[in-house]
Amino acid sequence: MSDNNLALFERARQSIPGGVNSPVRAFRAVGGTPRFVQRAEGAYFWDANGTRYIDYIGSWGPMILGHGHPAVLQAVQKAALDGFSFGAPTEREIELAEEILSLYPSMQMLRLVSSGTEATMSAIRLARGATGRSKFIKFEGCYHGHADSLLVKAGSGLATFGHPTSAGVPPEVAQHTLVLEYNNLEQLEEAFALHGPELACVIIEPIAGNMNFVRASLPFMARCRELCSRHGALLVLDEVMTGCRVALGGAQSVYARALPGFAPDITVLGKVIGGGMPLAAFGGPRAIMEQLAPLGPVYQAGTLSGNPIATACGLATLREISRPGFFEALSARTRTLVAGLKSAAAAEGVAFSADCDGGMFGFFLLPTLPQNYPQVMKSDSDKFNKLFHGLLARGVYIAPALYEAGFVSAAHTDADIEATAQAAREVFKTL
Ligand SMILES: *Cc1c(COP(=O)(O)O)cnc(C)c1O
């Protein structure tokens, strides 16, 4: 039988580098042919061969209601009839801003942009502009989009700044980025002792979803906050993945429960707040946000920023997930999935650990949960690839790389979760 996915992949490679418009889609880590999506509905998508998959990626997080939720679809259709883009302000931008601000008390103002990359890049510029400093700290294993200053790996020691991880990033740009190990308190203390007065900000994924699922420990997050405040640096929480995903109020609401008064200076959001449309945001206290053009000296702009269809999609999504009980039900579903995977692994004697919060989960073929990137990378990649392809063959689509998180939507049924655990058990038998 001919494979339509393979035919499309071969054709795509003629006109698009690697056949994909974002590298992880190419299945390079796991091998094999990417599935070309024909359509999606609820918790499922169908590929070019008409094969159905239970979707645990959900566009890497945004599809928290599942695909094609009726209320969201209706809002998008209605907005499209009124016009695609104006390059002039609309009331819906205010509504979305107000809705987000009501969920995130750490922010008094925000600006809408079109991608997480744009939002984090702008947040860094704002932190630099507001503090008058150039250098900043990021952590190994956290992903903050593909802006030059963020594609950086650690230098040879804490006294030296980073090196580019991508060709095309000037070393001079990377030299302002200090890359530390996640959850390493000692390195954090030392970095502030050495460079405190030069630091514009610390940027961190509070739950790192780009090394699968690794939580910043409470003492680590608390110390990030204290050291930033003491040294006049800003704490930037990149909640592009975790925002409105691990909880309505994001990971910051989870940390604030354990650390009274905890709040970031700048928050970056994306993914869920756009409900699957190109939309992201960054925001913070009024005094910081008013540094932005046209009020202040920090320039930032976008032709499609606050796009009327994207804001309609985001607003409709936020209204659905703000309904009482939504996150409780979603969290329970995710916990059931994780428990099912754990017991499937235990039944087959496979070393396995997993964690979740809200509608986001991660698992590792490791006996205990890792705390940082080097520990994540100790996962057995051959085993993971077998697991990935075994699940795929059984109609379960998880991220095609062991360092990516997974996502459950409100559309996943008990039967979907049960079928997933059953598929996992079958595959674990073969590992
Ligand atoms: C996805 C992601 C980004 C980048 O967002 P894009 O919309 O892909 O540019 C930034 N930070 C985090 C934490 C992300 O998960």
Q: In this structure, what CATH number is given to the domain that contains residue 419?
A: 3.90.1150.10
Range 93-106 average pLDDT: 98
Catalytic site residue from 55, 182, 271, 416:
271
How high is the pLDDT of residue 32? 95
- Whether residues 74 and 64 share a domain: the answer is no
- Whether residues 313 and 392 share a domain: the answer is no
Check which CATH number belongs to the domain holding 202 and give it.
3.40.640.10
Residue 243 CB less than 6 A away from ligand 1: no
- Whether residues 61 and 182 share a domain: the answer is no
How high is the pLDDT of residue 96? 98
Q: Domain boundary residue among 321, 353, 387?
A: 321
How high is the pLDDT of residue 161? 85
Q: Domain boundary residue among 304, 321, 338?
A: 321
Q: How many CA atoms lie within 13 A of 4 on its CB side?
A: 9
Residue 145 CB less than 6 A away from ligand 1: yes
- Whether residues 122 and 231 share a domain: the answer is yes
Nearest-angstrom CA–CA distance, 126 and 300: 9
Say yes or no to pLDDT of 1 above 70. Answer: no
Which residue owns the Cα nearest ligand 1 atom 15?
Answer: 241
Check if 82 is active-site.
Answer: no
pLDDT in tens, 37-96: 999 999 999 999 999 999 999 999 999 999 999 999 999 999 999 999 999 999 999 999
- Whether residues 127 and 142 share a domain: the answer is yes
Looking at the structure of the chain, the number of domains it has is: 2
How high is the pLDDT of residue 160? 78
Is residue 397 within 8 Å of 53, Cβ to Cβ? yes
Which residue owns the Cα nearest ligand 1 atom 10?
Answer: 144
- Whether residues 368 and 422 share a domain: the answer is yes
Say yes or no to pLDDT of 157 above 80. Answer: no
Residue 205 CB less than 6 A away from ligand 1: yes
Q: How many residues does this entry show for the chain?
A: 431
Say yes or no to pLDDT of 254 above 90. Answer: yes
Which residue owns the Cα nearest ligand 1 atom 11?
Answer: 144
φ/ψ of residue 358, rounded to 5:
55, -125
- Whether residues 284 and 352 share a domain: the answer is no
Check if 378 is active-site.
Answer: no
Q: Which atom of ligand 1 is nearest to the CA of 239?
A: 13
Q: Domain boundary residue among 262, 287, 321?
A: 321
- Whether residues 53 and 91 share a domain: the answer is no
Query: How many percent of the chain have pLDDT more than 70?
Result: 100
Distance of CA 313 to the CA centre of its chain: 18
What angle, 0 to 180 degrees and rounded to 10, lies between the N-to-C axes of helices 91-103 and 308-321? 30
- Whether residues 283 and 394 share a domain: the answer is no
The structure tokens 């698009």 sit at 16
Nearest-angstrom CA–CA distance, 237 and 241: 11
For residue 283, the enclosing domain spans 70-321
Pairing mode, strands 199-204 and 135-139 = parallel
- Whether residues 172 and 287 share a domain: the answer is yes
pLDDT in tens, 170-201: 999 999 999 999 999 999 999 999 999 999 99
- Whether residues 141 and 263 share a domain: the answer is yes
- Whether residues 105 and 195 share a domain: the answer is yes
